[in-house]
Amino acid sequence: MDRRQFIQSSAGVAGLVSVGGLAGCTTTASAPAVVGTKSRPKVVVIGAGFGGATCGRYIKMWEPHIEVTLIESNNQFYSCPTSNDVIAHHKKMDSITFGYDNLKGIIDNWVTDTVTAIDTNKKTVTTAGGKTLSYDRLVLAGGVHLEFDKVKGYNAEAQKTVKHAWKASPDQTGVLAEQLAAMPDGGVFVMSVPKAPYRCPPGPYERASLVASYFKKAKPKSKIIVLDGNEDLASKKGLFLAAWKKHYGYGTDNSMIDYRPNNMPRSVNAATKMVGTEFDDVKGDVINVVPTMIAADICRMANVRRNMDGTPGPWCPIDFRTYESMFVKDVHVIGDSALSNFPKSGSMANNMAKVCAASIAEMCNGRDPVSVPVVANTCYSATSGTTAMHVAAVFRYNDVDKNGNKIPGGEMKAQSLPGKGLSDAESEIEHAYMEGWKANVIHDTLAL
Amino acid sequence: MKKAFALSLLAVGLIASTAVTAGTPDARLRQMAANCNYCHGTDGHSRGSIPSINNLPRDYFVQQMKDFKTGARPATVMHQHAAGYTDTEYEGFARYFATR
């Protein structure tokens, strides 16, 4: 063999190594693609919310060679954060409505469609529009599935008039805002809080606060009944109660907010506007029922919605270095659908997406996933039209228990933070920071 | 022989491609630095009321983080985030954002 021949055969090897790099993009022992073809690793992301959009954007930022397909059923992005401001008439729908145009310019294949089936053996995703897309790695970012069937009478007909407004859209957020505007002064707004874990732990209490701020100004004789499926406020309890006392007479005979713990809605009557709990039938002029939640339906399709023991369960156990399912190879789950100790927030979904993107970029280059990832949460909640407060958390990867045994998939240890990560009190400056967070998280997620 | 050599190289190539190397420190750093972006903007370029953190002198960046952690610099939330990271990580953030 002479030098020229060696170079030729080395070129063949180089070709194979690069294809091997592609094989490194999957954890299954699949046969390498044909030597010499310019195949690119294929990542399909389902869902363009805070998790999926961020993941797609950051994969392209960190490893442009990866071919990213993003499948999203909505034509526009509706932000759940600050959607309570729309319900309370502090803001309009356009303040939470954003376009996907910039992201479409970054993502290789943008598919506006609904996923109907996932085959994790053939590694394909099928859509209602009849497309079949193949992947090397699949990222599920579908958020939450609302369990309407757990509330008697909350059928498709009832859903036409009874809104959850827990996934923002004109038909949910917009309609609830209209219902409250049409409610006469002196009316009763009945809203529910699902049993935890649910998306946005402080969200229901923010909703009660902001609707109270609207009533205080526009319909001062009106009341809010909060039916909480939990035994107490599930988030920022001290801060919300202080705000309710300060602004809305909470704890007095004239409180605008009537808070009722341990009151999980069991039934809904859309015609009579009645919400039934285990104890009571509560009638309102406007009723707003938020069902309990489990991981999105696409997680069921991919067979990753399970308990830690592998039996069918509500959320998706994942490895915290990659967000890959503990049970199905090459399928990653980020955001609200994942089983974790994280609050189900937009900030968390955004940060989980970056760990997933960074590790996918590494693995597609034949390297190890990110070592010891750290993620952080910052959740602002408004308590009135001008005040807000926050809870923050930082989580650090650990994979060894007290006895020195390896923890499968690892764990994310909440770091000890001053004041348990909470604001000392609501403030106007934090309302300004909340708006700043909103501007940047939207920009960071959607490349706007 | 030529064919055999090529095949053995192919085999080496396969082994090399399946063996994983350690995660690169840069990948971890950029992942962690990107945590900051939802408040401070992508690459630290803020669009709103929260300060930008790109293009700051590294020593200044690190000192601010340390001052947040000790409370020497008052904050609404940064004293809490600062408590979640190490001094070495502050230096990584400072290096990362200095060139953005």
ipTM of the complex: 0.90
Q: Would you call A313 exposed, middle or buried from its count of C-beta atoms within 10 A (0-12, 13-18, 19+)?
A: middle
Task: Flag if A12 and B10 touch (Cβ within 8 Å).
Answer: yes
Q: Which two tokens stand for residue A83?
A: 């959607």
Q: Which residue has the higher pLDDT, B48 or A382?
A: A382
Average pLDDT rounded to a whole number, residues B35-46? 98
Q: For position A331, what pLDDT does the model report? A: 98
pLDDT of residue A3: 39
Residue where a domain terminates, one of A234, A262, A293: A293
- For every residue of A42-85, DSSP letters joined together read EEEEE--SHHHHHHHHHHHHH-TTSEEEEEES-SSEE-STTHHH
Radius of gyration of chain B (CA): 21
- Per-residue confidence (pLDDT) for residue A25, from 0 to 100: 77
A154 and A32, same structural domain?
A: no
Q: List, as ranges, residues 96-135 from A with C-beta within 8 Å of B.
A: none
| Residue B14 identity (one-letter amino acid) | L
Q: How far apart are CA A421 and CA A253, in angstroms?
A: 33
pLDDT confidence band for A423 (50 / 70 / 90): very high
From A270, A334, A377, A400, select the one nearest A48 (Cα to Cα).
A334
State mean pLDDT over A426-444.
98
Out of B32, B34, B47, the one facing A58 most closely (by C-beta) is B34
Helix, strand, or coil (residue A299): helix
| Contacts with A359 from chain B: Cβ below 8 Å | 27
pLDDT at A189 over 50: yes
B40: nearest Cα among B91, B85, B100, B95: B100
Min Cα separation A315/chain B (Å): 24
By CA distance, what is A16's nearest residue in B? B13
Q: How close, in Å, is residue B58 to chain A by CA atoms? A: 21
Domain membership of residue A405 (yes or no) is: no
A31 to chain B: closest CA residue: B14
For A122-131, what is the mean pLDDT?
A: 98
The boundaries of the domain holding residue B68 are 23-98
- On chain A, the residues whose CB falls within 8 A of the CB of B38 are 346-347, 350-351, 378, 437, 440-441, 444-445
Q: Give the model confidence (pLDDT) of A30-88 as tens digits.
A: 443 334 445 899 999 999 999 999 999 999 999 999 999 999 999 999 999 999 999 99
For residue A445, which residues of chain B lie inside 8 Å, CB to CB?
Answer: 38
Q: Is residue B1 part of a domain?
A: no
Residue A204's pLDDT is: 98
Per-residue model confidence (pLDDT) at position B24: 66
> What is chain A's mean pLDDT, rounded?
93
Task: Please indicate, yes or no, if residue B66 is contained in any of the structural domains.
Answer: yes
Q: What's the confidence (pLDDT) of residue B48? A: 84
Collapsing DSSP to helix, strand or coil, A227 comes out as: strand
Model confidence at A410, pLDDT cuts 50, 70, 90, reads very high
Report the half-sphere exposure of A355 (CA within 13 A, side-chain side). Answer: 29
pLDDT computed for residue A17 by the predictor = 36
Number of domains composing chain B: 1
* A426 Cβ under 8 Å from any chain B Cβ: no
If you measure CA to CA, which chain A residue comes closest to B35? A351
Helix (H) or strand (E) holding A397: strand A388-400
Interface touch B13/A16, C-beta < 8 Å: yes
How many domains, in total, are found in chain A?
2
Interface check A440 vs B, CB under 8 A: yes
Which of A293, A314, A335 is where one domain is finished?
A: A293
Whether residue A152 is found in the same domain as residue A286: yes
Q: What is the pLDDT of residue B22?
A: 58
Residue that has been written with the tokens 């903007």 in this structure: B41
State the smallest CA–CA distance between residue B57 and chain A in angstroms. 22
The percentage of residues in chain A with a pLDDT greater than 70, rounded to a whole number, is 92
pLDDT reported for residue A38:
54
Indicate yes or no: CB of B49 within 8 angstroms of CB of A418: no
* Cβ–Cβ gap A440/B47 under 8 Å: yes
The arithmetic mean of pLDDT across residues B12-20, rounded, is 41
> What CATH number is associated with residue A185?
3.50.50.60
| Chosen from A8, A321, A370 to mutate, greatest number of chain B CBs within 10 A | A370
A375 inside 8 A of chain B by CB: yes
| A397 falls within a domain | no
| Beta-ladder partners of A312 | A306
**Choice among A210-214, A280-284, A406-410, B15-19 with the minimum mean pLDDT:** B15-19
Instruction: Kindly determine whether residue A429 and residue B22, on different chains, have CB atoms separated by under 8 Å.
Output: no
Residue A1 pLDDT exceeds 60: no
B76 DSSP 8-state letter:
S
CB pairs under 8 A between A and B: 177
Q: Does the residue A260 lie in any domain?
A: yes
Q: How many helices (H) and strands (E) does chain B have?
A: 6, 0
Please name the amino acid found at residue A122: K
Is residue B27 in some structural domain? yes
Cβ–Cβ contacts within 10 Å for residue A366, how many?
A: 20
Query: At residue A146, does pLDDT exceed 90?
Result: yes
Residue of chain A nearest B19, judged by CA positions: A366
Q: With respect to residue A337, please indicate whether it lies within any of the assigned structural domains.
A: no
| Helices (H), ranges, A183-233 | 203-218
pLDDT of residue A187 exceeding 50: yes
Pairwise CB contact (< 8 Å): B80 & A419: yes
| H/E stretch holding A410 | strand A406-414
CB atoms within 10 A of CB A102: 14
Question: Which residue range(s) make up the domain with A22?
Answer: 1-39
User: What are the pLDDT digits (tens) for A148-165?
Assistant: 999 999 999 999 999 999
CATH number of the domain to which B86 belongs: 1.10.760.10
pLDDT at A24: 60
Nearest to A358 among B13, B31, B37 (CB): B31
